[in-house]
Structure 1
């Protein structure tokens, strides 16, 4: 939860945004503020009043474009579409569904040609908005695109106030519906105030929505995954390596958890090797001492081609999810492929029914994993039931159906549809950030000097209070 100092800092920043005499400066400052709050978890997760204030103030600057006689049903809106981005994969999967067939894609900033081709359908090319320096012209261009659709599904970066403002204008002029697909459910994001529906992905986002003040508009959608028809028979890899994969920063110790220490202790108690895909051994200093102690039994790969990744997993005996931050969809994907999967219920979990395979603590994880490696059984786990829940939650068509019915869902249909195995800790990421020695400056947006001074003063004061 934000402290009094945090609220003062944010109020000062909002005043700076609204004090701008022109639209371009106002939006530039809002984007810089959005990125600061996204990258630095101060415990403030939405700014609905700022969204409304910007819409009210700048509404007279825009005109309603002519609307086509026939509108299409859905437009997926991405800020940037990367080849390896989770946003891109989600949209790519949803385009293949039957329930969201009448849909197009628009990228507001940039996408490589190969990704644009992936996101194009037989009936509709993926549109990438040209680079427009004038902010009013860009938002007017987005409004012209948005008004051709009945429902916008926003898959935006947390700082993308341009798309949020254009969406608000489309609703004002044409009654366009706005759904925010909450990719960044654990951090600050614009869009929560403007959205009619927030499509949640996890128990973590579901609980955090109560702090955001948006719980009344939340509907669980889930993350769509390409799942095999059946769990394939795996080769007998009882003596194979232990595998783990995730973005490098997800293994950085914090919140009382340390994957490097866990890995070091694990290898003293088993003769298996450990394959780590994602950590950067040269730059991730938190691995240096554990890596020296583990020696050649720990193999590090910064990145790996997808087919090589699958081969590595086929040769593994078990999979361990990254922590303190979860590796994301890799965990349920490996579980449904039949690879015995382990992890920790850190309090920041809740993205898949596969979490029921996780342990309560780092100590319990070590004990559970060693017991399985020795006995090849997991007592107390209803494996078949969990696998069926993974299918029910993550199957592409099931996710698409929830999204298509979000406006009419009853209270039961809105809920996260599997039992949460442990309580959610909404301030998990705040505590990790608060103990860090550095902050993250904006890299996607031009910084604003006054916002930077306000943030630096706030950050230094917060560090004094914590010592």
Structure 2
């Protein structure tokens, strides 16, 4: 089957994008190494946040980063610890009565906000919505959904440091039976808040950004994805166990459409017009590949005088669509119902698909046509997967096929088209409507309860060459000016005040210094109390220093008379496959053992 993402000049463009992605991965690694080297947890978290900001706008060709995960997990367990008596775990899904939904921000438009609204309205459980970084008034639709569902809305001030926000989140979470994360992929707060599984409820992530790296694999018990390709990617590329990566269909919004003829008359369209509708923000139709969305639109209207295109998202004058009397850019449209009523077919956005728009159209009985790879195993990161929405989306591999399908739609008998629309709406309602979606939710909640505390840091998720979808995202987002300095600057509010750069020159210097070398031959040196707890703390600290590159191994100093006891304690906690190299030295005190550049652990810090 042809794949238009790879056709003609597109293959060369994607190859160039993959080169850029490899360079971006190296920058991500620089941020992470700098974060791991930090002695101050707050600064380490800020640099980790900068790394995540970077990866959200400059794809690194991976969906999880092991070093980043270990860092956030270690800091979270130390700084936001749990206690066994903090929370009474739910016995089963029926025992889950209070749900905490967590979002970084919500918007007037966009798919993930619609999912939050529909979730809290449909779920019979009592909900709380926590906004981690949203200072503006709630969008009208979100406020209405919260009011209808009796949902309390809680905010944390945006200027609150991440570790404090994580503590606030943890404290609120333990008052609930389930946590559902709708957060941005570059938000590190949940990764810190839920790293320690002790005394917390199960944590479920709604994977609304399945094509991006996100932080917190080690803090999420179950992942809910929109479709099978994202489920598989969570296992292969994020290191999530297969039994913890599950589907949750998008919830369809039942809506009553106005009369078709009245909707058309209001738009100045005749009854014989063949009306296409596209829905998607400007970046989804950016002219990065051949053909461009503008070129597709022009080809369609020139192929048949009946064809009109209504485009919600692109605004008049922004040059994303050609200037043509039968192509109408409408800008942001608050209520799509009149457009859905007037349209004969939804034209999927290109090169980035619009999953929520496709669902809303299908729920209204409006079929869709999408340019993409029609094979069942196609990469589906930015394109709709084959067979989505009960067959509502017809995927074709070329523009001539797309034109032929659109014209054939216009040639169908109106009564036949009406019957097909009703059948499509019914089919979508069975899976994505109240009953089907609620059944899928209950399976997901059951899995979350069963796997509470199963979250773990991935060992080594697969990092293959960047997928075509990731290369497309690079082409789209790469046109936006975004440099490492911008990522660092975004994270500056999370830095301790004394560590914030004073001006642009210092900011540049900080970024340039991310790769400063660790001292050659440095070791961690400690003379711990001979107690199991102190030995455990020493080993944990030593592992962090070794991972950070500040030391090559651990030297344990014990008095000659205590060597045998030290051997027993170390053997009990250091396995054969441990990442840490440990040397035991018999000496009275460590002053003669430590060398310049060594990391010396204070004995007092190892004592409980």
Residues 76-225 of structure 1 aligned to structure 2 (within 5 Å): 76-98=101-123, 100-110=124-134, 111-113=136-138, 114=140, 115-116=142-143, 118-120=145-147, 123-169=150-196, 171=197, 173-209=198-234, 210-214=236-240, 216=242, 217-225=244-252
Distance 2:447 2:273 in 1: 48
Alpha-carbon deviation of 1:198?
Answer: 0.6
Distance 1:94 1:299 in 2: 33
Distance 2:510 2:214 in 1: 17
Secondary structure (helix, strand or coil) at the match of 2:278 reads strand
List per-residue Cα deviations over 1:349-406 (Å, max 9, x = no partner). Answer: 1353345433333331111112222345899x98777544422331144334323322
Distance 2:194 2:82 in 1: 12
**Partner in structure 2 of residue 258 of structure 1:** 292
Distance 1:84 1:103 in 2: 22
List per-residue Cα deviations over 1:10-62 (Å, max 9, x = no partner). Answer: 33321112122322222222222112112222321123542233222353334
**Partner in structure 1 of residue 331 of structure 2:** 302
Is contact 1:77–1:107 with CA below 8 Å preserved after alignment? yes
Q: 1:330 to 1:61 in 2, by over 3 A?
A: closer
State the TM-score, normalizing by the size of structure 1: 0.79
Q: 1:302 to 1:183 in 2, by over 3 A?
A: same
Distance 2:152 2:113 in 1: 15
Residues 393-432 of structure 1 aligned to structure 2 (within 5 Å): 393-406=431-444, 408=446, 427-432=467-472
The answer to whether the aligner puts 1:446 opposite 2:475 as a matched pair is no
The answer to whether the aligner puts 1:332 opposite 2:350 as a matched pair is no
Distance 1:332 1:238 in 2: 26
Secondary structure (helix, strand or coil) at the match of 1:168 reads coil
**Partner in structure 1 of residue 342 of structure 2:** 315
Alpha-carbon deviation of 1:179?
Answer: 0.6
**Partner in structure 2 of residue 370 of structure 1:** 407
Q: Equivalent of 2:275, from 235, 241, 254? A: 241
Distance 1:454 1:248 in 2: 36
Is contact 2:99–2:180 with CA below 8 Å preserved after alignment? yes
**Partner in structure 1 of residue 428 of structure 2:** 390
Is contact 1:34–1:190 with CA below 8 Å preserved after alignment? yes
RMSD of aligned alpha carbons: 3.6
Q: 1:249 to 1:6 in 2, by over 3 A?
A: closer
| Greater Rg by CA | 2
Distance 1:366 1:240 in 2: 12
Return 5+ residue gaps in structure 2 as ranges.
Answer: 1-17, 91-96, 262-269, 374-378, 449-464, 493-506, 515-608
Is contact 1:237–1:317 with CA below 8 Å preserved after alignment? no
Is contact 1:9–1:454 with CA below 8 Å preserved after alignment? no
List per-residue Cα deviations over 1:236-282 (Å, max 9, x = no partner). Answer: 94425332221111111345442211111111111133222211353
**Partner in structure 2 of residue 61 of structure 1:** 79
List per-residue Cα deviations over 1:274-314 (Å, max 9, x = no partner). Answer: 22221135344x54xxx24xx322222222231xx322332
Distance 2:347 2:155 in 1: 38
List per-residue Cα deviations over 1:56-112 (Å, max 9, x = no partner). Answer: 2353334548847798532111111223343332122112224x5133221112151
Secondary structure (helix, strand or coil) at the match of 2:371 reads coil
**How many residues end up aligned between the 2 structures?**
428
Residues 37-52 of structure 1 aligned to structure 2 (within 5 Å): 37-52=55-70
State the TM-score, normalizing by the size of structure 2: 0.62
**Partner in structure 2 of residue 458 of structure 1:** none
Secondary structure (helix, strand or coil) at the match of 1:219 reads strand
Distance 1:397 1:87 in 2: 21
List per-residue Cα deviations over 1:169-200 (Å, max 9, x = no partner). Answer: 4x2x3042111100111222223342111100
Distance 1:261 1:157 in 2: 32
Distance 2:150 2:475 in 1: 50
Q: Equivalent of 1:277, from 281, 292, 312? A: 312
